[in-house]
Amino acid sequence: MPKATFRIWRSEGQGSGEFKDYSTEITEGMVVLDAVHQIQAESANDLAVRWNCKAGKCGSCSAEVNGMPKLMCMTRLNTLPLENPVLIEPMQAFPTIRDLVTDVSSNFEHKKRIKAFKPKKPEADGTWRMAQADVDRVQEFRKCIECFLCQDVCHVLRDHHLHDEFVGPRFLVHAAALEMHPLDTEDRTADLKKLHGIGYCNVTKCCTKVCPEGITITDNAIIPLKERVADEFYDPIKKLIQLVVRKR
Amino acid sequence: MPQLEHIHYDVLVIGAGGAGLRAAIEASANGVTCGIVCKSLLGKAHTVMAEGGIAAAMANVDDRDNWKVHFADTMRGGQYLNNPRMAELHAQEAPECVRELEGWGALFDRTADGRILQRNFGGHKYPRLAHVGDRTGLEMIRTLQDAGIHRGVAVHMECAIFSLLKDGDRVVGAFGYEREKGRFLLFSAKAIVIATGGIGRAYSITSNSWEYTGDGQALAYDAGAELMDMEFVQFHPTGMVWPPSVRGILVTEGVRGEGGVLRNSLGKRFMFDDIPANYKASTADNEEEGWRYTQGDKEARRPPELLTRDHVARCIMREVRDGRGGPHGGVYLDISWIKERIANAQEHIKKKLPSMYHQFKQLADIDITSEPMEVGPTTHYVMGGVRVNGDTQMSNVPGLFAAGEVAAGLHGANRLGGNSLSDLLVFGRRAGRCAAEFAKEHGGGKINQADVDAAAARALAPFDRVGGAGPYQVQYQLQKDMQDLVGIVRRQDEMERALEVLKTLKERSAKVGVVGNREYNPGWHTALDLHNLMIVSEAVTLAAIDRKESRGAHFREDYPDKSAEFGKVNTVLKKGPNGEMQLRREPLPELKADLKQIIEEMK
């Protein structure tokens, strides 16, 4: 069996750590997560890694493979140049807890602050009617598996560490799913501007590029939300009327 | 003891999949404090993998459907070993539970007139599964997760429970740890709901994630609760078989529901060769009729590919054994053929089965819109589990409830696809409500410090065994032996050998050592999981040895037929006074006259 080398970040948190090389056997069809598990079983029992479904459905095994944000369970080894060591690092936008495991708790905090779904009244028979076409639009956003790779590449979070001021692409998608939900009656526009920091996004589309679910994050979710915020807060005609009304 | 955090709740829920989240939401809504612990991050539990849909007789697509038909289908599928009360409540309450999800924001696929669309599935007489493409589980868990965090449920992520604590007969707390720092946690609770899912990790080929190590079954068993029907392990007929690294990953039954067919290496649709007598009247006898059924023709009967999972799995095994399988030990599942029947087939398949398309494209270099998939059986689900009261979901241990896969009763000898997600909702809700009521009626109990100290010592023991056996190697060996000896086709001698092997493995697992420290240490965690895996493996094996017949998911080569005698009993297991596993045959609960009549009418 051929072998390959994996250069894995080992760390006990607090920013310190080092790369260690591990060599393991490669078989047909293997993905990066398989290699990590094999190494864990053979020579590094305490190598910390998150995973669950191993089928790209749960979004647990996010990491950076050769510098690219990826789900390790969906990254086939035959797509990587194995003549060089495969570099595996934790997501860089989040503090490392240990090895490949990062502290993603900020994401769960963001979600709590986004106003919950508030449906309109059902019809007389107690159910709702919705057209598939209206549902389609939101179903795209609801495909999100919360892998947080979009958060990982967002420069507002990754380079500027503005986790407290900006919810990031994942939660703009979440807000869009709620705002565009055919039954929802809540208004989140003011929150998007003030609380969730939508203005920080300058539409570089890095998030869209890395989304393993292929959600068109920027064009379909963030830009329409930005338009809503602009309509509400930056509409010149509305501003003018407000000014006149206030003067009187 | 250093590093021990003590937390108090009225109701503690263990496990944050569909059942646990639904229970926690309900407990909270009933005015008690509620905390939920889960081994992974919130929203990653195995419910997320469910693809096909939620079975509920809403009659949106076929108005002949109602709870009675759903009840009868569930009982027939379970070969009448089901707890009839649970099957009744489940069929009656599932539609309301689905509508409840919609009210919390779930967005199901729609019918032309804007209602929730329902699809065909194996063993269900009418199109009954509310779904979202083939990612229904994700929709469900996300909806429940988002509902839960806005309803006052406290979440403890990446924590595991090692043991339940009792005050006399009653359960009053739980002891475990949080993975990040490896700190111990002590929970005091007036009632506890176990919702930890299944046991798939006791087998080497499984669709289940690492979490599925039988924790809840083992916790309950150690606390004196009875386990039931453990011999019934469902092997889903269609898992991926190639490449090796994806072996076992699920291929949804929805593929067959949308018109996918099974063929052997000769190109023959072998499912027509063997249709069980009790399904003969409701199964198509030609390809044309089967196709019309999948396309919604109400006059057509279902194709044999949509027979119950146990039967389809065995037919696949037969084809492979007799040399008519594919190059990797599976058979062919083909959805691409529908291009002969409908225009736009490629787009249709991508729309209806997006994650299947994605999964095969990315992991196996196969485009399912133009070529067949190779599939074979994979360990998927355990029908058995903690024996509970059908109305309240409480076990024989006061204050200890169980819901979802970890509980036994609803599915009998074989579960129908789609009945799992509805199970989680219906009985998660009931368990949450009844646990809240129990908590209100009973004060807090007293936790015995000696029990806590003993549990902590057990948990830390692997650190002292430097140079001991590796935890992963013991786990792999167990999985291999269970797969080989107590798998889809079972025999007395092999299962007796499994008991011997388990004994040796138990000894080995007692010597397992771990390296590193307590912080997020997967080796340590795996070492601690072994205890649970050993218990559930022994339970499955003992129960399977005792049931000398073939019924539902339990197939014995040495007893290939159903036996009237065993058709009257459930197998119940309990921890004896000396720690030994005791087995007894428990007569089935009485079937009420009205339910009996429904079953007779729909036979």
Q: What CATH code is carried by the domain that includes residue A92?
A: 3.10.20.30
Q: Of the candidates B392, B182, B117, B368, which has an alpha carbon nearest to the alpha carbon of residue B259?
A: B368
pLDDT digits (tens, 9 = 90+) for B287-301: 999 999 999 898 999
pLDDT digits (tens, 9 = 90+) for B554-600: 999 999 999 999 999 999 999 999 999 999 999 999 999 999 999 99
pLDDT at A239: 79
Decide which of A75, A102, A129 is a domain's last residue.
A102
- Number of domain units in chain B: 2
pLDDT digits (tens, 9 = 90+) for B361-371: 999 999 999 99
Q: Do B519 and A97 touch (CB under 8 A)?
A: yes
pLDDT digits (tens, 9 = 90+) for B246-296: 899 999 988 999 999 999 999 999 999 999 998 999 999 999 999 999 998
Distance CA B340, CA B362 (A): 26
Q: Do A130 and B110 touch (CB under 8 A)?
A: yes
Note down the domain range covering A164. Answer: 105-236
- Confidence tier at B245 by pLDDT (50, 70, 90): confident
Decide which of B327, B356, B378 is a domain's last residue.
B378
* Catalytic (active site) residue B236: yes
- Confidence tier at A248 by pLDDT (50, 70, 90): low
Using an 8 Å Cβ cutoff, are B121 and B129 in contact? yes
- pLDDT reading at A247 higher than 70: no
Distance CA B345, CA B347 (A): 6
How many CB pairs lie under 8 A apart between chains A and B? 165
Q: Are residues A60 and A155 in the same domain?
A: no
B100 interfaces chain A, CB cutoff of 8 Å: no
Q: Of the candidates B207, B232, B197, which has an alpha carbon nearest to the alpha carbon of residue B78?
A: B232
Asked if residue A242 is part of any domain, the answer here is no
Residues of chain A with Cβ-Cβ distance to B362 below 8 Å are 56, 74, 76
Per annotation, catalytic residue among B90, B236, B309, B387:
B236
Q: Are residues A30 and A13 in the same domain?
A: yes
Q: Do B149 and A108 touch (CB under 8 A)?
A: yes
B472 interfaces chain A, CB cutoff of 8 Å: yes
- pLDDT reading at B328 higher than 70: yes
Q: Calculate ∠ Cα B415-B417-B419, nearest 5°.
A: 70
Asked if residue B75 is part of any domain, the answer here is no
B463 interfaces chain A, CB cutoff of 8 Å: no
Provide mean pLDDT across the span B545-560. Answer: 96
Asked if residue A148 is part of any domain, the answer here is yes
Picking from B41, B45, B244, the nearest residue to A29 by CB comes out as B244
Q: Are residues B266 and B372 in the same domain?
A: yes
Asked if residue A182 is part of any domain, the answer here is yes
B99 interfaces chain A, CB cutoff of 8 Å: yes
Q: Are residues A231 and A114 in the same domain?
A: yes
* Catalytic (active site) residue B256: yes
pLDDT digits (tens, 9 = 90+) for A185-204: 999 999 999 999 999 999 99
Q: Do B107 and A126 touch (CB under 8 A)?
A: no
With a pLDDT cut of 70, the percent of chain B lying above it is: 100
C-alpha distance from residue B333 to each of B242, B379, B403 (Å):
13, 18, 33
Least confident of A213-222, B385-394, B461-470: B461-470
Q: Are residues A232 and A109 in the same domain?
A: yes
Per annotation, catalytic residue among B46, B135, B256, B554:
B256
Q: Are residues B480 and B572 in the same domain?
A: yes
Q: Are residues A91 and A32 in the same domain?
A: yes
Q: Do A112 and B180 touch (CB under 8 A)?
A: no
Cβ neighbours, 10 Å, residue A200: 16
Q: Which residue has the tokens 């679910």?
A: A213
Q: Do B105 and A50 touch (CB under 8 A)?
A: no
Q: Are residues A195 and A74 in the same domain?
A: no
Which value does ipTM take for this structure?
0.94
In whole numbers, what is the pLDDT of chain B averaged over residues? 95
Going by the DSSP 8-state scheme, the letter that residue B341 receives in this structure is T
Using an 8 Å Cβ cutoff, are B229 and B384 in contact? yes
Q: Are residues A7 and A77 in the same domain?
A: yes
pLDDT at A114: 97
Cβ neighbours, 10 Å, residue A39: 20
Chain B residues 330-369 with a CB less than 8 Å from chain A: 355, 358-359, 362-364
Q: Which of A53, A174, A186 should one mutate to test binding to chain B, selecting the residue with the greatest count of B CBs within 10 A?
A: A53
Picking from B42, B105, B244, the nearest residue to A27 by CB comes out as B244
Asked if residue A25 is part of any domain, the answer here is yes
Asked if residue A135 is part of any domain, the answer here is yes
Q: Are residues A97 and A166 in the same domain?
A: no
pLDDT at A243: 79
Q: Are residues A222 and A161 in the same domain?
A: yes
Q: Which residues contact B221 (CB under 8 A, 6 or more apart)?
A: B227, B535, B539, B573, B574, B575
Q: Do B114 and A47 touch (CB under 8 A)?
A: no
Provide mean pLDDT across the span A228-237. Answer: 89
Q: Are residues A114 and A190 in the same domain?
A: yes
Chain B residues 235-254 with a CB less than 8 Å from chain A: 242-246, 249-250
Q: Are residues B244 and B374 in the same domain?
A: yes
pLDDT digits (tens, 9 = 90+) for A153-169: 999 999 999 999 999 99
Q: What CATH code is carried by the domain that includes residue A172?
A: 1.10.1060.10
Q: Which residue has the tokens 């599932």?
A: B94
- Number of domain units in chain A: 2
Q: Do B209 and A58 touch (CB under 8 A)?
A: yes
Asked if residue B433 is part of any domain, the answer here is no
Note down the domain range covering B328. Answer: 240-378
Asked if residue B551 is part of any domain, the answer here is yes
